[in-house]
A = this chain, B = another copy of it.
Amino acid sequence: MPDKVSIALDAMGGDHGPAVVVAGAELSHARHPDAEMVFFGDERVLEPLLATRPKLREAARIVHTDVAVKMDDKPSQALRQGRWHSSMWLTIDAVKKGQSGVAVSAGNTGALMAMAKFHLRTMAGIGRPAIAALWPTLKGESIVLDVGATIGADADHLVELAIMGNAMARVVFDLDHPTVGLLNIGVEEVKGLEEVRDAHRILRTMARDHLDYRGFVEGDDIGKGTVDVVVTEGFAGNIALKTAEGTAKQIAAYLRGAMSRTLAARIGYLFARQAFNTLKEKMDPRKVNGGVFLGLNGVVIKSHGGTDAEGFAAAVDLGYDMARYDLLAKISQTLGPLTPDMSAEPIRGVAS
C-alpha cells in the first residue's frame, strides 16, 4: 500500500473543463485529505479556481500545458497532435513515470484509450485492455466489463476479463471472493457463442478461492446483482450499458409525467418528495460515474464528459481506491498462477 496517493487529473477534459474538474477534485479531496491532486492544464485558468479553495490548493500541484485534446478529435488525430504536450497525455505520463498512482480524465474516450494503450502498454499476461463499469444493482453495485474498449473477444480474452474484474471487485467492494458470471443468452450450457462456451469451460476449472465463477448469467441478472462481476465482450457490453441507461431515463420520464398529470398526483408527490429524492439518488448515474481502463500498466479512470462536480468527484474517489489498494498488484496476483511461464518475470510498472 503506497504511503501517499497521488492522483493525476486531466484538467482540460470534459464538456465543462477546469471548472468541473477542480470543483470535483475539491469534493473528493474533502473525503480523502491524504491525497495529492495534480492538475494538468492551463495554469491561467487553474490558478484562480484553486485560489478560492485553500484546502485543495495546499494538496494540489499544477503542471502547465496549453495543449488540450478536443472532445470530437478522432483517436488517431489526438494521438498525432496531442502526444507529449496535451493535458491528457501528461496525465497518463504521470502514471507511466510512477509519479501518480492513477489518472482521471473526463475527456474524449477514444483519445484517452488510444493514448493510454500507446503510452502504458498492456500488462504482461493481458492481450487487450478493457473498460469496466460500476453498475448499480438491487444488492448494491456490480462490475461489468468490457463495456466498449474492444469489439469481439475470444475465450482467452473473456478469461482475462474475468480475472481483471475479479481483482477490481476485491479492491472496490473490499471482498475476498467476489462472484463472477459470464453474460450469455440463456443459462443452458448448449446456448451461446462458441467463445463464450469455451471461456465457461476454462473458468469452471479454476479453483473457487482463486476465482469464484458462478456460470452463465443473462441480461436481467445484471440489475438483480446476481454476481459481483459480469464478464462480456465489448460490443454486447456497451449495448447493455447504454440500453440500461436509456431504460432508466425512460422510466424517469414516465414517472415525471405521471406525477404531474393530476392535482392528486401533485399533492401525492409533495408528501412523497423525500421518497422520490431517495429514488433519484439510487438512479443517479453520477454516483457510479467512471469507467475504469483495465489491463494496462497503470490505472486510468474515464469520467463521463458531461458530468458535474459531484460526478467527477465519484470518478476521483474510484481512482483513489484503485491507487490506495493497488489494483494492478491484485490483477497480477490472480494472473500469476495462470501464467506460470511468466511468473518469474517482474511485471513492469507494478509494485510488488
Contacts and interface: CB of A to CB of B under 8 A. Distances in A.
B278 A249 contact: no
Interface string A49-88: 0000000000000000000000000100000000000000
Interface string A256-279: 001101101101111111111011
A38 to B, nearest CB: 30
Interface string A272-292: 111110110011000000000
Given A193-B152, A250-B224, A261 B239 contact: no
A220 interface: yes
Contact of A185 (B192, B239, B273, B282): B239
How big is the A interface, by class? 35 or more
B236 A222 contact: no
A241 interface: yes
Contact of A138 (B192, B232, B250): B250
A193 B223 CA distance: 27
A141 B262 CA distance: 25
Contacts of A247: 223, 243-244, 247-248, 251
Contacts of A325: none
Contacts of A218: 239, 242
B250 A262 contact: no
A245 B220 contact: yes
Q: Which of A241, A244, A249, A259 has the most CB of B within 10 A?
A: A244
Contacts of A175: none
Contacts of A136: 250
A234 B191 CA distance: 12
A220 to B, nearest CB: 3
A248 B251 contact: yes
A232 B238 CA distance: 13
A186 B274 CA distance: 37
A219 interface: yes
24 contacts: A138-B250, A151-B185, A151-B192, A151-B193, A185-B238, A185-B242, A219-B238, A219-B240, A219-B242, A219-B243, A220-B245, A223-B243, A223-B249, A224-B250, A235-B236, A239-B239, A244-B247, A264-B272, A265-B271, A265-B272, A265-B274, A268-B270, A269-B272, A272-B272
Interface of A: 74, 136-138, 148, 151-152, 183, 185-186, 188, 190, 192-193, 218-224, 232, 234-236, 238-251, 253-255, 258-259, 261-262, 264-265, 267-276, 278-279, 282-283
